[in-house]
Structure 1
């Protein structure tokens, strides 16, 4: 299958920073690829090069002649006062009925089509952009951080769309959960090089870590062998009877080779403040009503959050999560009722309005020195800055030249220099790469204070949350189930909405709900055949997966580099076959789901 996108020896620099250094990769039209890499690694630059909007210094990006790229834009493409349908018609040059038909796939319908786009939330604006993208009838999609501003429900809707999309796509995202759900291949951009792995983001990270560990063990064994040979040579090369043996050992020593292992890229190592463990109620809401002078957002709020809790505040965008947090911390006054904090609580706040309004002319060092607890000395401040990747001359950078991700890290660093025993975190994972989110999770695991937070990153919430507070329908309540049950309930609601839409369409067109007898018979026959193929594929995939695991164990144990390379090649071949079979399994599974829904 010829590639739809062929990246050949791509090279690109910005100043002294090398983003692409002879990077190469080939992507075919059925690839569902997650593009990952550190903040600033050059992922967006690569996307622009593919689209033809960024000129390379060397190399080229070759597109198949029949490829039509669709790009989900991060910037705002809307005109002042433009309605949803007006933007879609202008952008796509399609009639209003066609725009409405495609928009309905993202639940944009009715009065919303005539609403000004700028009045919509960021999540709904992303849905509008996705609609515009599809109206251009692309054959391959490029989505740059598509989950930014999307609530969980909209992420699930986007996932369902992508799973049913027949073409290929390339997704840039730091959201590991989203990539796991939508991508079966992983493209990593690191140190200017591209590596394409036939597996999910989690499989890739596991393989990368295991491979590095294996290579380190091989090198350790090679080093031990080299020392042994060198000792023999040193002891025997001067002896008349042993000089020939020493010479032979020298040849063996010269033939030894080490596996080249790239040094790890700098990672944030986040330290947490050491605070006293407290018991009892951290905060109590009694008969609370939250909102603004012209409207109530939620009322009748009565709940307690205990010290040491990790409370995730969840709900769709626009339901009032941020309003609730702002009321808790006192930046928004309650409309009625009260918020009572426990004794000796010291609250640290992380939110977009905080890190977007940092003092522009302060340096990184100045800012951190200004917000630190008095007990923390200058050297400790620099150590914390370094743990958030502000090292060397970077601490002298002014806030106004920092990227969004750098400002987010700076704000978090300042928060953890404050020794707060309560942390209020509004979307702390935004602008942080996968590795930094992991480091933040580990830090919060060790933190013995209380955390109240919002996040649309399912991986982050799964790692951190010990209780769930839902903001929905004008109410804020503890929900008794865990986060997995909450996600399952959302998924069921989306399926129910889809079912209602289908039922309404059928009713509106006056169709008979039952299939004709012969059609039912044919569908049942096809369903049986599909189910048989699914079972066969599941058996084969399980067998190959056992083989893959056995090969991986061998890789971890073997010390001979030549044999290790052979096993690695076989491991890769088995992984490729599994990926191919899983693709077939998914197609048959989708057929079965169609039969069951029909």
Structure 2
């Protein structure tokens, strides 16, 4: 389908590609990976014809079609509705529709036999091209990408850049090109939409090329990985996780080959230096000099996942409660975001707030930070809480004339220059790179600077809104390590599943105007949610006759005795749920205290003490699992009773 043969491409004196080759077949779903600046987007632009290779060739059949989702599409605006823009994918069909409309208009005043015949032919062609289904197809795609029914007729220009990009993605999917190229598509999608696009791509008939920093998305969406490194394209037959394992094995071989070559070079250079002045050895010396000149140099292995060590210091320790809002409402006009919701954020919480866009995640961040007030409800800020807020607009607050090091000096952290250099080294700014001006940095580099400023601010409570946007995978790994070492409290909004699975110990999600909490990791929440959905689906399938009598009674009006029994059961379930929740929080706090003590030299340096602490830790962990299961059971009981709550 598509062949890249010995392609070389240069930006000025910089070599982007040198003799790079790749063959793309139908149904290939290829992830293009590599460091920022390696040339991933450049490769897509070469395939699309935006750039021409300096050497080699890119060939494909004449009838092969290419669809390219790239950041340039963000600038596209029109007064046409998003449904109309999406339906532009069916250009030939719409052209026939226009011809049909013109003939019908003409027939209103001039009804001729030849017009009737022409109309019949066009209508037959329109039907054969499935013209009567294009609107529903467009609506289905846009709905999958997160658009509501009432938004379909709204003009494209009225949406933000991210939502406009979704429309352009929908249009590309409807076009069904032979080669579909997606450049960082998850930057503009929320979690439900990402999961929808994963399912869509799994059955895509054409080839798909994806540039993405989202590891989980790559694992689920691709079946081949192509690494861009040092101007070459290296292909691995599997998803991103397979690529990491295969690359690790290849790196070990390369490291051994590199070290062997370096040893041989040193030995050869020593021979040349030793016998350079001896006439009897001139021939051998000259032979070794030529051998070195012709040697195909092996590169050393680059560490894509460096380990970092961040030194976090707090001038103040916060109280037990970081933030609390009780029974609050929030609405924008007729759109209700929260209704009677409760929020309690405790010291030491590592929370990921997840869900679809438009559910109120950003509103919740503003409520917690005090930047916006609730329509009803009392907000209480915690004692000695110092908050740092990171969002994409922080990139605009960077002083573009500052050098990177100077920008961090202005963060007010009182860190020494050497300490700031160490922090920048953790965020992949090495050597003289720290003297680059902000204005010459890429979006990903600016994100790293802004994140570094946030993390050194000595805040004991962090609020991070989509921090992984514009970061490549090594940079995301750096952020994960930094947050794992952070000793304060944080609340993260993200759609990156790998990221939140590594940094969160609690999951928040918004449902029916309420803020709900799951006291566990993202993976545990996914399993729990799947279990709940399966149980609800099973109940829904049962006919009324097959349900237990207790279930049948739900549909009946309650007698006084039944009402009293319901009130008794509900009160008990509510009390047991709250009691279990308190116990879970108590055990989680105890578990964290034990984990901290394990790092104490007095503990890990004393075998007897270490064994004692480990035994206590295992006991607390086991008890926590048992109490969490009990809590979940009481949550289900309360939910079931609320479903039959009498009016």
- Normalising by structure 2, report the TM-score: 0.66
Instruction: Report the alpha carbon displacement of residue 184 of structure 1 after superposing the two structures with TM.
Output: 1.0
Aligned position for 2:382? 342
Matched with 2:454 is 415
Task: Give the distance between the partners of 1:397 and 1:373, measured in 2 at CA.
Answer: 21
Q: List aligned pairs for 1:373-388, cutoff 5 A.
A: 373-374=413-414, 376-388=415-427
2:193 is aligned to 154
Quickly say closer, same or farther: Cα 1:489–1:221, change in 2 above 3 A: same
Secondary structure of the equivalent of 1:142? strand
Displacement of 1:36: 0.7
Q: Secondary structure at the match of 2:205?
A: coil
CA deviations 1:267-306 (Å, max 9, x no partner) are 7765434235767322222223345578552132323222
> Is the CA contact (8 Å cut-off) linking 2:254 and 2:300 kept in structure 1?
no
- Structure 1 position 453 matched with structure 2 position 492: yes
What 5-or-longer segments of structure 1 have no aligned partner? 229-246, 499-598
Report the aligned-residue RMSD: 3.5
* Larger RCO: 1 or 2 (CA < 8 Å, sep 6+): 1
Q: Which of 18, 23, 39 pairs up with 1:21?
A: 18
- Identify if the C-alpha distance between structure 1 residues 221 and 491 changes in structure 2 by more than 3 Å, giving closer, same or farther: same
Cα distance between partner residues in 2 of 1:8 and 1:59: 6
Q: Report the CA distance between 1:329 and its aligned residue.
A: 1.4
Aligned residue for 2:346? 306
Find the counterpart in structure 1 of residue 373 from structure 2: 333
Shift of 1:265: 6.3
> What residue is the counterpart of 1:315 in the other structure?
355
Q: Name 1:79's counterpart in structure 2.
A: 77
Structure 2 Cα separation of the partners of residues 420 and 338 of structure 1? 24
Partner of 2:477: 438
Q: 1:406 aligned to 445, 452, 456, which one?
A: 445
Find out whether 1:274 has 2:312 as its counterpart.
yes
Contact 1:11/1:20 (8 A) holds in 2: yes
Distance 1:227 1:61, change over 3 A: closer
Partners of 1:266 and 1:17 lie apart in 2 by: 22
| Aligned equivalents of 1:136, 1:227: Cα separation in 2 | 58
Q: 1:371 aligns with which of 405, 408, 411?
A: 411
1:282 touches 1:305 (CA, 8 Å); kept in 2?
A: yes
Number of paired residues?
Answer: 472
CA separation of 1:174 and 1:51: change in aligned 2, threshold 3 A: same
CA contact (8 A) 1:212 1:261 kept: no
1:422 Cα shift? Answer: 1.3
- Of stretches 342-351 and 129-138 in structure 1, the one that deviates more from structure 2 is 129-138
Partner of 1:101: 136
Aligned to 1:580: none
Deviation at 1:489, TM superposition (A): 7.6
Are 2:214 and 1:175 equivalent residues in the alignment?
A: yes
TM-fit CA distance, 1:384: 2.0
Secondary structure, in 3 states, of the residue corresponding to 1:365? helix
Matched residue of 2:456: which SS?
coil
- Describe the superposition over 1:251-271 as per-residue Cα deviations: whole angstroms up to 9, x where unpaired: 9xx9xx999343416777654
Provide the C-alpha distance between the structure 2 equivalents of 1:359 and 1:297, rounded to a whole number of angstroms.
35
Alignment of 1:470-509 (within 5 A): 470-479=509-518, 482-484=521-523, 486-487=525-526
Change (3 A) 1:113 1:141: same
- Structure 1 equivalent of residue 548 of structure 2: none
Deviates more, 1:309-318 or 1:88-97: 88-97
Shift of the alpha carbon at 1:12?
A: 2.3
Q: Aligned partners of 1:52, 1:224: CA distance in 2, in Å?
A: 44
1:463 to partner: Cα distance: 0.9
Q: CA deviation at 1:416?
A: 2.3
Describe the shift of the 1:223–1:269 C-alpha distance in structure 2 as closer, same or farther (beyond 3 A). closer
Q: Deviations over 1:160-190 (max 9, x none)?
A: 1001112221111110100100111100111
* TM-aligned CA distance change 1:71 to 1:102, over 3 Å: farther
Distance 1:259 1:227, change over 3 A: closer
Distance 2:264 2:84 in 1: 72
Aligned position for 1:358? 398
Q: Which has the higher mean CA deviation after the structures are superposed, 482-491 or 135-144?
A: 482-491
Structure 1 residues 495 and 78: alpha-carbon distance in aligned structure 2, compared to 1, 3 A threshold: farther
Distance 1:275 1:301, change over 3 A: farther
**Contact persistence 1:291–1:323 (CA under 8 A):** no
Q: CA deviation at 1:486?
A: 4.4
Q: Is the 8 A contact 2:321 2:383 kept in 1?
A: no
Instruction: Indicate how the Cα distance of structure 1 residues 51 and 102 shifts in structure 2: closer, same or farther if over 3 A, else same.
Output: same
Task: Give the direction of change, closer, same or farther, for the CA distance of 1:448–1:219 in structure 2 (3 Å limit).
Answer: same
Counterparts in 2 of 1:391 and 1:220: CA distance versus 1, 3 Å: closer
Q: Which runs of 5+ in 2 are unaligned?
A: 95-130, 268-283, 538-647
